Amino acid sequence: METDVKLTKLASCAGCGAKVGAGTLVQLLEGFRTHKDPRLIVGYDRSDDASVYVLDENTALVQTTDFFPPIVGAPYLYGQIAAANALSDVYAMGGEPKLALNILCVSERMEDKTVQEILRGGYDKVYEAGAIISGGHTIQGAEPIYGLAVSGFVHPKKVLTNSGALPGDRLLLTKPLGIGILTTAAKADLVEAPLLDRVYRQMATLNKTARDIMVQYPVHSCTDVTGFALLGHSYEMAQGSGCTIHIQTDQVPWHPEAYEFADMGFVPAGAYRNRNYAEKGVKVVGQVPRALQDIFFDPQTSGGLLMALPEEAAKDCLAELQKRIPEAREIGYVTEKMDADIYLE
Amino acid sequence: MKTVDARGLSCPEPVILLRKAMASKESAYTVLVDNAVSKENVTRAAQHQGYKVSVSEKDGEYTLSITR
């Protein structure tokens, strides 16, 4: 095991929890001048995972970037997680990553070896994805930051946006929730090593397998569950699709230990931001305990894919997913628009 | 009664400080925080330990009175 230099001590907030709230972003991005181009089929007027630009009838370019301060103390692991998280946005569009650029900020307090280990983590993950790191940019700053700008390709007719869900669709999720709460509790040294290892491995796992299986089925809509949490990303999918998303709370996969840590007050600030953003669209049916709601609002770093597809296909797709990703679950379904964007039931 | 001044700190530091202070198992604590997230998390931490919490706010600073 590599030496743990406690990179997290250099960071003021962790992983995707560092993301600026969705509500704030929408306000910040209002009213700027942009060229109109019909080839830009997914742009930032839509709250999606990546932008998509059509090159020719068979090829569209997918572009995205993601970076954050250290979420783990071990630099190699941090590099892997940051890279897996950045690559995920391409997978969430149904695409394949091809080129990546490093985005790196080093603080004076970091040794060269630490910086190298972060980069090695990134290179190894990008290699595993079958993509190439072709350059990057490094600056100095108070807090370490690492991530990637990623370009990939997708067939223009097979782009999976977060706004294509249809009534009758079933929802699949490929990674269990609770990452933000567990990494917050880890800062208090309360999470036992075997669980923490599982959590780290989960974050470093590419969504490539999930994507490769997903594209063999008639999926209508996909997004990855990251900083805005299950409910924030579901809210965007419901709004974008003009549907209501029903989450069957007893079907959602989550790390059981996160429940008590939420009750113990280890709820990251990002979960409160997500609640403020999405709560207006959520209707709770029956009793959903506060701690479980926190898990649904919990920002995930390098979370799983959330996909919407017709019932019959969902059954087959889930069976196929579970052969490689045992944690994958069907977590709900989609109906016509009702009086709320999301039903928690 | 013990006072924990967690102003200027963000999650999860205020909860960690309260947990350390609670090792002495006193019947009452006062916690000072300066953001709503810490107020919520400290409240839940105290309730989880079986304490009652009352909150007062002044100029964006919260005083949490934590009692058995």
ipTM score for this prediction: 0.95
Q: Say how many Å lie between the first and final Cα of chain B, rounded.
A: 12
User: Which CATH number does the domain housing residue A276 bear?
Assistant: 3.90.650.10
Residues pairing with A244 in the sheet: A335
A212-223 pLDDT per residue, tens: 999 999 999 999
Query: Are B68 and B28 spatial neighbours (Cβ–Cβ below 8 Å)?
Result: yes
Catalytic-residue membership of A243? no
Measured between CB atoms, does B20 come within 8 Å of chain A? no
Cα end-to-end distance, chain A, whole Å? 43
The answer to whether residues A227 and A115 belong to one domain is no
Looking at the structure, tell me whether residues A317 and A292 fall in a common domain.
yes
Q: SS3 sequence, A304-341?
A: CEEEEEEHHHHHHHHHHHHHHCCCCEEEEEEEECCCCC
| CATH classification at residue B33 | 3.30.110.40
Give chain A's contact residues with B (Cβ, < 8 Å): 12-13, 184-185, 187-188, 262-269, 272
Identify all chain A residues contacting B12, using CB atoms and an 8 Å cutoff.
Answer: 184-185, 187-188, 265-266, 268
**Which residues contact residue A200 at a Cβ distance below 8 angstroms, ignoring those fewer than 6 apart?**
A72, A77, A81
Residues A320 and A182 in one domain: yes
Nearest to A269 by CA among A2, A25, A20, A11: A20
Mean pLDDT value of segment A173-193: 96
Tell me: do A320 and A174 sit in the same domain: yes
Residue A75 has pLDDT above 70, yes or no: yes
Determine which one of A16, A105, A222, A243 is catalytic.
Answer: A16
Residue A122, classed as helix, strand or coil, is helix
- State both tokens at B38: 């810490």
**Co-location of A129 and A268 in the same domain:** no
| A124 and A227 both lie in a single domain | no
Spatial distance between the Cα atoms of A66 and A82, rounded to a whole number of angstroms: 8
Q: Please tell me the distance in Å from A289's CA to the nearest CA on chain B.
A: 13
Where residue A73 sits, what CATH number does that domain have?
3.30.1330.10
Assess whether pLDDT exceeds 60 at residue A5: no
- Residue A141's domain comprises 7-158
pTM, two decimals, is 0.92
